[in-house]
Amino acid sequence: MTLPERGAAEPSVSLGALLRGDADVGGETDLGVDRYVEEILASGYPGIRTAKSGRGRRAQLDGYLDRLFDHELTENGSRRRRPAAIRPWLTAYAAATSTTAAYETIRDAATPGESEKPAKVTAIGYRDTLQRLWILDPLEAWLPTKNLLNRLTAAPKHHLADPALAARLLSLTADSLIGGDQVGELRHRSMLGPLFESLATLSVRVFAQAAEARVAHLRTRAGRQEIDLIVVGEGGRVLAIEVKLGATPDDGDVRHLHWLRSEIGDDLIDAVVVTAGPYAYRRADGIAVVPLALLGP
């Protein structure tokens, strides 16, 4: 479920209107970082959200994952004799949330200390199985057709179906997220920002589907320009969205949105920074700033 479906807040800014270019950007919310962390950990699965305590939700998430590894893989035709062996791979993908980490990075994170690394075809088999089970939900790269930006990469961004699953696989808690726990060998990074981006991606994908649009991401091959979410509407025109934890984005936070505008001109319908702040407004440069809690269909 998205944040509005969870009853977390009443949205005031419509993604559909942003795609039409006639959005009214305004509103206020009292949701802050602590509440977003709570929503990340609480999960968007209705059955898991019914648990009355954090411990109960963790137990339900563990049960869901155990069911996945012990039964679903076999029932869906996996030829693995030890389906639970796939858990380290899913954990590696969890650690890679909101990145375009390469196969080698995922493989090394899933097989630490192993001198004999699995073949690439084996790793692709793991990935494909997890996607068939709708547990991996990668975000495709945006490759425009009308405006040929030949510096773009085609690598997908890694996401799990629910950021709560990623947090549970990595044994993250509210205290560790807010305290900035680092995640092992993959990137030595705090996970709060990536999981907040994953929560935003979940909601934007649902809202875009209602608007008959698709969602992708943008990254140049050198990594000099990245935009978290590209919503492609009718006629191939796009809405560009950056996701930032800060309440008030500065000029550095919007530089890639300005770069895209200079590249594709009128094909950019609107540009937005989704934040964890309290207010929705437009900056002097026309870029919309929208708290995630205030974004709706």
Beta bridge partner(s), residue 130: none
Output the pLDDT for position 153. Answer: 78
Helices (H), 133-191: 163-169, 174-178, 184-187
Domain boundaries, the chain: 3-296
Q: Report residue 280 as tokens.
A: 């929705």
Dihedral angle, C-alpha 169, 174, 180, 181, nearest 10 °: -40
pLDDT of residue 148: 58
pLDDT of residue 95: 94
* pLDDT for the residue 109: 86
pLDDT at 146: 61
* pLDDT value, residue 248: 93
Structure tokens at 99: 């990145």
**Confidence (pLDDT) at 186:** 46
- From CA 120, how far away is CA 100, in angstroms rounded? 17
pLDDT digits (tens, 9 = 90+) for 207-255: 999 999 999 999 988 788 999 999 999 888 999 999 999 999 999 999 9
How many angstroms separate the CA atoms of 65 and 88, rounded? 12
The segments of the chain whose pLDDT lies below 50 read: 80-81, 185-188
Please say whether the beta carbons of 158 and 96 come within 8 A.
yes
pLDDT of residue 185: 43
- Integer distance in angstroms from the first to the last C-alpha of the chain? 13
In the prediction, which pLDDT does 127 show?
83
